Structure 1
Amino acid sequence: MNYETKEYINKVADCVREVYEIPFPVDDMAPIVKKIGGNIDIRHNFDPSYDGTIKKDGDDSFCIAISSSQNDQRKNFTIAHELGHLFLHMGYGISEEVWKEQNEKEYRRFGKSEQEYQANEFAAALLMPREIYLKKVDEIALNGTVDMEKVAHACNVSLSAAINRGRFLGILS
């Protein structure tokens, strides 16, 4: 994914955070999804090959299905990832024409396609906005060393999500 695409995705995530007044850190994505116009279906018999799906289920609504086997931080990231598909690929609130075409299409959190990388970037930007993330890293840094577990805790995300965000922002190698 090129720099311009990443910047665009981060701007979309920032706009979504602002329009829907999404707090930091996000403790529970369910009320946010409801505010945006969707529902969450937590499934116990979910296909183990992927973590979540999103599908249009009305003119102005959508449903995100996720596996019940994920911990709370993973569920939040999966839901944020599916919201990435909603805004970036399904056109919700962005392109009425693209949104109208989504009747039967289902997006799944699976694989390594460009759309999956984009949805992951959106999720990271939504849950760990660049400016807030960088501020947290600076606050936690001690003698040039950052305890990434503390950063992850401050952002209410998994350690791997916090580390990947640092890598994508170019502050970790």
Structure 2
Amino acid sequence: MSVVNGGAKKPLPKPIPDRIREAREARGLTPEDFSELLDVSRQAVAQFETGQSSPSGEVMAKIIGVTAQPPLFFVTPRERARQGTPFWRSLKRMEQHHRRRITRRLEWARDIAAYVDRFIELPNVNLPNIEFNAECASEEDIERAAEQLRDHWKLGRVRIRNLAAVLEENGVILVHESVECPDMDAVSCWQGGRPFILSSAEVQSGPRATFNLAHELGHILLHAGVEVSSETLGQIEKQANRFAGAFLLPRETFSQEVLGTSVSYFKSLKQRWGVAIAAMAYRCKDLKIFNENQFSYLMRQMNAQRIRKIEPLDDAFPVEKPSLLAESLRMIVEKGVQTREQVEAALTLNLSDVEGLCGVPKGFLDLRVVSFVPRQR
């Protein structure tokens, strides 16, 4: 089909196959789900996504409606930045369509960060160069890596009050949004030379959320070149957990404050350090402050009090939320550097997706709301 323009026929743009697939995956749809919603065959979906055929205008309208992306999304080539492998906590439990959906969200976060960086200089990535061999690293290697990072960031050996802010100050891009996936608390990866962490808004415990950030920081620092597979996953997860404990609870100071083994005493430590009781118990075991019997005693106390999943004081610490992308976007729009229309045209994304990834209130970018006024009888 073509459009007549001043006597000359101008061909209509064709949707880019990769972008159809990207839009589908970003909504967590399998090819089978997609085919049912579009009322086409599974083979037709495969042909749309490989470029063997293009959807008709009627089907394209359905694709736009189902994926909630603007028409411009499908005809704009996307610059592909180099992306490292995301560090998933579980390759077996987490369904593939969830992994693909969240991977796409991370890619879009990278696009938004690159756009913002055109107008506002984002913090440089500030991580020490640590030699670490995941295959043969010792526990002492992990302890030293955590201490080296604290020294590099001049954090001393005291409690870190706002880890999210510390990460953003040092060039890590954070996204905090609902993931609708019970098997994922957080995920991280390197993209375009910068680390990204996406954390789940479903996590309501401040201490748990902080530990998740520290865990992902361990992956970013120690495992950038590691190939994640079912064979390596268990080892690198243990290393990231050990790093998180070492980073949040430094051995030279935390170990001096463990003066009891009761849940009551550990509640007081939780108030002081902002770390979950269970995580502190494992830290005590790692540092050999507790022997196996002492560790088991504390775990039994927690089981008896039914506080293993939801601990006391969980709600006393608010979940630390990122602010870098939100404040940068606000500044760009409110200072008139870019209009909302320019943001939409540059990113070619549904504005609700941009708002969610940046953490700005819903409706901040999309002001085209039609007021509903009931007819007076």
The one-letter code of the counterpart of 2:200 is S
Q: Deviations over 1:103-159 (max 9, x none)?
A: xx889xxxx70100000000000000001111222xxx2xx6562222222221011
Give the match for residue 160 of structure 1: 278
Structure 2 CA distance for partners of 1:149 and 1:33, relative to 1, 3 Å: same
The counterpart of 1:47, out of the listed 175, 178, 181, is: 181
Q: Does 1:38 align with 2:199?
A: no
Root-mean-square deviation over aligned CA pairs: 2.8
Three-state SS of the structure 2 residue aligned to 1:113 is: helix
Counterpart-to-counterpart distance in 2, 1:19 and 1:167: 27
Q: Deviations over 1:55-83 (max 9, x none)?
A: 11222x11100111221111110000000
| Percent identical | 27
Q: What TM-score, normalized to structure 1?
A: 0.78
Larger strand fraction of residues:
1
Structure 2 CA distance for partners of 1:46 and 1:38, relative to 1, 3 Å: farther
Counterpart-to-counterpart distance in 2, 1:33 and 1:170: 29
Max Rg structure? 2
Structure 2 CA distance for partners of 1:135 and 1:68, relative to 1, 3 Å: same
Asked if structure 2 preserves the Cα contact closer than 8 Å seen for 1:53 and 1:106, the reply is: no
The one-letter code of the counterpart of 1:14 is E
Counterpart-to-counterpart distance in 2, 1:10 and 1:50: 26
Three-state SS of the structure 1 residue aligned to 2:197 is: strand
The counterpart of 1:114, out of the listed 212, 220, 235, is: 235
- Structure 2, unmatched stretches of 5+, are 1-133, 293-377
Three-state SS of the structure 1 residue aligned to 2:138 is: helix
Give the match for residue 105 of structure 2: none
Query: In the TM superposition, what are the counterparts of 1:30-109 in structure 2 within 5 Å?
Result: 30-59=164-193, 61-70=194-203, 71-90=205-224, 98=225
Counterpart-to-counterpart distance in 2, 1:34 and 1:156: 19
Q: What TM-score, normalized to structure 2?
A: 0.37
Asked if structure 1 preserves the Cα contact closer than 8 Å seen for 2:176 and 2:200, the reply is: yes
**Any runs of at least 4 consecutive aligned residues in structure 1 with deviations exceeding 3 A, and if so which?**
none
Give the match for residue 20 of structure 2: none
Asked if structure 1 preserves the Cα contact closer than 8 Å seen for 2:179 and 2:202, the reply is: no
Counterpart-to-counterpart distance in 1, 2:182 and 2:269: 29
Structure 2 CA distance for partners of 1:115 and 1:124, relative to 1, 3 Å: same
Counterpart-to-counterpart distance in 2, 1:76 and 1:33: 11
Give the match for residue 93 of structure 1: none
- Structure 1, unmatched stretches of 5+, are 91-97
The one-letter code of the counterpart of 1:45 is V
The one-letter code of the counterpart of 1:78 is N
Asked if structure 2 preserves the Cα contact closer than 8 Å seen for 1:52 and 1:82, the reply is: yes
Q: How many residues align?
A: 152
Asked if structure 2 preserves the Cα contact closer than 8 Å seen for 1:22 and 1:32, the reply is: no
Give the match for residue 139 of structure 2: 6
Counterpart-to-counterpart distance in 2, 1:52 and 1:82: 7
